[in-house]
Amino acid sequence: MNNNLKNWIFSKTFFVKLMSVFICMIFTSFSIVVFIKPNGLISGGLSGLSILLNRMSGINLPLLILVLNAPTFILSIFFLDRDFAFFSGISVVFLSFFVSIIEKYLPGFYITKDPLLAALFGGLLNGIGAGIAFMHGTSTGGLDIIAAIIKKYFNVSIGSVLMGINFIIICALAFIYTADQALYTLILMYINYNVIDRIQLGVGIQKQIFIISEKYDEIVKEIHREINRGATFINCRTAYAKKDLYMTYVICSSRQLVKVRRIVKRIDPNAFMAVSDTSEILGKGFKELSI
């Protein structure tokens, strides 16, 4: 065995990615068999197309998942890197396997026949699974491969490609069956993609606060004392009064923001404060806030 290949297979990164794909497909397969398929909904991508064709033709769902994903896997070997291609292929095999196992040992099993609840919880489980995979730099296969190739060679965003293809699949669902099922599927996909984003960016979106006040020193001391958060001073100059002072920059949770507001208002009622969301926080003191 080639040394580079051997080192890659026995590396910690390989094991972590393999486990993330394994866990992802457990969530995804359970979501498909227990929530999505029994309620006439579909998931996104080629797994959704597999569900649709299964309903129309009665062909075995695990077999359809393998067959429909085979061409995209072959394309990934030629156009994408080794990691992406390998884990895309493994994810499809895992998904087909887990779907067949659940259908075999839990035939006809479902948790709810309410399509709204199915869309909510199906989207949640799908999102958790895919989010775990994406967070560790792996792919769930299928349309991800097509989107990645188009992104690589034509610089079209992956999100735009997936949205366009999924839109066509949903339209087919609405045309073949009912608009209600298509609309519930849209709810499912919306939740799915939002959960993926939350997992990739962190469980709780943090707040960044900019405070302009002449009493910056007092404010920072109180913030540190009450919520145990540090701060950064940024040199600034006010445009109207032409005063040189420090602007205070603070990162905190949504819950801590309430206390920061009180501190600033108590110390300097005339202070200027701007608050916005952050998409990702890395560094000391914030490691535990992200997944």
**Residue 289 pLDDT greater than 60, yes or no:** no
The answer on 242 and 183 residing in a single domain is no
218 versus 201: which is more confidently predicted?
218
Give the integer Cα–Cα distance in Å for 259 and 226: 8
Asked whether 168 and 49 are in contact (CB, 8 A), the reply is no
Mean pLDDT of 154-179: 79
The answer on 139 and 60 residing in a single domain is yes
Mean pLDDT of 186-202: 80
Asked whether 46 and 68 are in contact (CB, 8 A), the reply is yes
Mean pLDDT of 142-148: 79
The predicted pLDDT at position 252 comes to: 86
> Percentage of residues in the chain with pLDDT exceeding 90?
44
The answer on 41 and 119 residing in a single domain is yes
The answer on 107 and 43 residing in a single domain is yes
275 bridge partner residues: 209
What does the pLDDT look like over 220-271, one tens digit per residue? Answer: 999 998 888 889 999 999 888 888 999 999 998 777 888 899 899 999 999 9
The predicted pLDDT at position 138 comes to: 77
Most confident of 154-168, 180-194, 196-210: 180-194
Copy the structure tokens of residue 67.
């067959």
Domain count of the fold of the chain: 2
Out of 201, 227, 262, pick the residue that ends a domain: 201
279 versus 203: which is more confidently predicted?
279
Lowest mean pLDDT among 101-110, 159-168, 173-182: 159-168
Mean pLDDT of 144-158: 74
What does the pLDDT look like over 10-53, one tens digit per residue? Answer: 788 888 889 999 999 999 999 999 999 999 998 888 898 899 99
Quick one: which of 23, 56, 21, 16 has its CA closest to 37? 56
Instruction: List C-alpha distances in Å: 38 to 62, 102, 117, 194.
Output: 15, 13, 12, 23
**Residue 174 pLDDT greater than 80, yes or no:** yes
The answer on 244 and 159 residing in a single domain is no
**Residue 192 pLDDT greater than 90, yes or no:** no
Give the integer Cα–Cα distance in Å for 277 and 89: 36
Structural domain for 279, as ranges: 207-289
Asked whether 192 and 123 are in contact (CB, 8 A), the reply is yes
161 versus 227: which is more confidently predicted?
227
Out of 201, 219, 251, pick the residue that ends a domain: 201
The predicted pLDDT at position 123 comes to: 93
Mean pLDDT of 189-210: 77
Question: What's the whole-number average pLDDT of the chain?
Answer: 85
Whether the model pTM is above 0.85: no
Asked whether 207 and 254 are in contact (CB, 8 A), the reply is yes
Kindly indicate the confidence band of residue 200, based on its pLDDT and cuts at 50, 70 and 90: low
Instruction: List C-alpha distances in Å: 150 to 46, 73, 85, 224.
Output: 16, 14, 15, 48
Out of 138, 171, 201, pick the residue that ends a domain: 201
Domain holding 245: CATH number? 3.30.70.120
Reduce the DSSP state of residue 249 to 3 states and report it.
strand
**Residue 290 pLDDT greater than 50, yes or no:** no
